[in-house]
Amino acid sequence: MSGLSHFLILASDGMKANRLFWLLIAGFALFPIFTHFADLPFWNDVAMRIMLLGMAAMGLNLVLGYGGMVSFGHAAFIGIGAYCVGIGEFYGLTNGWAHILLGIIVCGLMGLVIGYLALRTSGIYFIMITLAFAQMLFFLFVSLEQFGGDDGMSIDRAEFGFIDLYNPLRLYFLIWVILALVGLGLMFIVHSRFGVTLRAIKSNESRIEAMGLEPLQFKITGYVVSAVICGLAGVLFANWQEYVSPDIMHWTRSGELMIIIILGGLGTLAGPLLGAIVFLLLEESLPIMLGTVAPAYAENWMIIFGPLLIMVVMFGRGGLVGLLAAQRQSKNNPKRDKAGQ
Amino acid sequence: MTQPVLNLQKLNKSFGALKATSDLSMTVMPGEIHALIGPNGAGKTTLIQQIYGALKPDSGQVSLNGSEITKLSVPDRVKAGIGRSFQISNVLMDFTVMENGIIAEQARLGQSFGFLQPAFSDAVLIEGAKTILQRVGLEKRAEQRVGDLAHGERRMLELALALAASPSLLLLDEPMAGAGPEDSQRMAEIIEGLRGKVAILLIEHDMDAVFRLADRLTVMVEGAVIAAGTVAEISANEAVKLAYLGGEE
Which string of DSSP letters, residue by residue, matches A212-264? T--HHHHHHHHHHHHHHHHHHHHHHHHHHHTEE-GGGG-HHHHHHHHHHHHHH
Query: Is B239 among the domain residues?
Result: yes
Buried b (16+ CB within 10 A) or exposed e, A117-153: ebbeeeeeebbebbbebbbebbeebbeeeebbeeebb
Cβ–Cβ below 8 Å for A214 and B75 = yes
Q: Quick one: pLDDT at residue B248?
A: 47
The pLDDT of residue B2 is above 60: yes
Enter the DSSP assignment of B112: T
Find the Cα–Cα–Cα–Cα dihedral B213, B217, B223, B225, rounded to 10°. 180
CA torsion, points A255, A258, A264, A270, in degrees to nearest 10?
130
pLDDT at residue A339 tops 50: no
Q: What is the pTM of this model?
A: 0.92
B142 inside domain: no
Closest CA relative to residue B8, chosen from B48, B54, B35, B55: B48
* Interval B170-174 mean pLDDT: 94
- pLDDT given for residue B245 in this prediction: 56
Between CA A20 and CA B88 the distance in angstroms is 38
For the cut 90, the answer to whether the pLDDT of residue A325 exceeds it is no
Q: What is the pLDDT of residue A130?
A: 96
Residue B219 pLDDT > 70: yes
Average pLDDT over every residue of B199-206: 93
- Residue B129 maps to a domain: no
Q: Do A191 and B118 touch (CB under 8 A)?
A: yes
Q: Is B59 within a domain?
A: yes
Cβ of B116 within 8 Å of Cβ of A188? The answer is yes
Residue B184 within any structural domain of the chain: yes
In a domain, B162, yes or no: no
Lowest mean per-residue pLDDT among A38-52, A71-85, A319-333: A319-333
Q: Is A109 helix (H, G, I), strand (E, B) or coil?
A: helix
Q: Cβ contact (<8 Å) for A203 and B93?
A: yes
Is the alpha carbon torsion for B85, B87, B91, B97 positive or negative?
Answer: positive
Question: What pLDDT score does B244 carry?
Answer: 66
Contacts of A202 in chain B (CB under 8 A): 94
**pLDDT, tens digit (0-9, with 9 covering 90-100), for A10-58:** 888 888 889 999 999 999 999 999 999 999 988 999 999 999 999 999 9
pLDDT value for B240: 80
Count of domains observed in chain B? 1
CATH for B43? 3.40.50.300
Residue A341, pLDDT > 60, answer: no
Q: Is residue B50 part of a domain?
A: yes
Neighbouring CB atoms inside 10 A of B225's CB total 19
Q: Phi/psi at B149 (nearest 5 deg)?
A: -75, 155
pLDDT class for A302, splitting at 50, 70, 90? confident
Q: Compute the average pLDDT of residues A1-15.
A: 81
Nearest to B95 among A200, A217, A221 (CB): A200
pLDDT of residue A287: 86
pLDDT single digits (tens) A286-297: 888 888 888 887
Chain B residues in contact with A13 by the CB 8 A cut-off are 118, 120-121
Coil, helix or strand for B20?
Answer: strand
Domain that holds residue B50: 6-81+167-248
**Interaxial angle between packed helices B181-194 and B151-163, expressed in degrees from 0 to 180 and rounded to the nearest 10:** 10
Mean pLDDT of chain B: 91
B2 vs B170: which has the higher pLDDT: B170
CB atoms within 10 A of CB B114: 20
pLDDT (tens digit, 9 = 90+) per residue, A224-270?
A: 999 999 999 999 999 999 999 999 999 999 999 999 999 999 999 99
Quote the CA–CA distance of A229 and A236 in Å, as a whole number.
Answer: 11
In B, what residues contact A, Cβ < 8 A?
73-76, 78-79, 83-84, 86, 90-95, 99, 102-104, 106-108, 111-122, 161-162, 164-165
pLDDT of residue A340: 36
Task: Report the percentage of chain B scoring pLDDT > 90.
Answer: 75
- What tens digit of pLDDT does each residue of A193-226 get? 999 999 999 999 999 999 999 999 999 999 999 9
Interchain proximity B90–A10, CB inside 8 Å: no
